[in-house]
Amino acid sequence: MQSASRLHKALKKGGATFGAWQMLPGANISKTLAITGVDWICVDTEHGNIDDAQMHEAVTAVASFGISPVVRIAANEAWMVKRALDSGAHGIIVPLLYTPEDARRLVSSAKFPPLGTRGFGSPFAPNTFIASTSPDGPHKPVALMDYLQQANGSLVTIVQIETAEALANVDAIAAIDGIDVLLIGPFDLGNNIGRPILAPELHPELKEAIAKIHAAAGRHGKGTGIYCTGLEQAKMYQEHGFHMISICNDVGALSGFFGNALQILKPSSGAAGGEVKY
């Protein structure tokens, strides 16, 4: 399974991975994002317009191109973790953690016994882990029982550090076995520490908070990720040694392109464009 997960392999190797954020439903959108060559695609069921059935279709579509599908669930709920992983997600992103106990509860939900409490039975989960039996042979998904035995060491568990409480507890959260990546949600983090992003330049306290999270992840051998809204930001965090970097979401890419085009073609139209820099 590990060899069939582009994200897992890249995180083990070190260095930066780049991802897209899917908020609109539709397998064709998933495929369009996947053919760009990103390393992973986040299927966003927290803030995106994607329901359970659409999540299943998106995960399968992304994986069919050899890209790792990652699902952001809406909350740290065991049944949401189960649905995401049972769809075949190579990893999960979990928002709004507060305490180390929240992180331990998440790990339990994401792991099969004896490491956790995840139930076994989805016939769909193995189908997104495609392994070749030989260089010239057929590509087949891992067997169901192989998935059961290998999933605990192959799936990527990503926690968002975006609350004041999680920031205060970041070292303890990063130290927990089974947490693989700390992903920074800068907008919610800024809101929750009283430094919302209201201008292109981040407030110094928000920059310090991001640096604190990155350092804590490094001390405990975990990866660091961040949600970006543009290339300039993504490049900066690559240079800072981050491991999971989003480039853009589908909604932003569509509205940004057309908005910027109209600013050029119809300067007086007042079309919104540009990007927030941090």
Contact 98/64 with Cβ under 8 angstroms? no
Of 47, 56, 203, 243, the active-site residue reads 47
- Please give the structure tokens belonging to residue 110: 């994401």
Residues facing 244 on adjacent strands: 17, 225
Burial 113-129 (b: 16+ CB within 10 A, else e): eeebbbeeebeebbbbb
Active site residue 139: no
What CA–CA distance (Å, rounded) separates 102 from 2?
A: 26
- Cα-based distances in Å from 33 to 61, 125, 199, 249: 10, 21, 29, 10
Q: Which of 133, 114, 119, 48 is nearest to 83 (CA)?
A: 119
Q: Which residues are catalytic?
A: 47
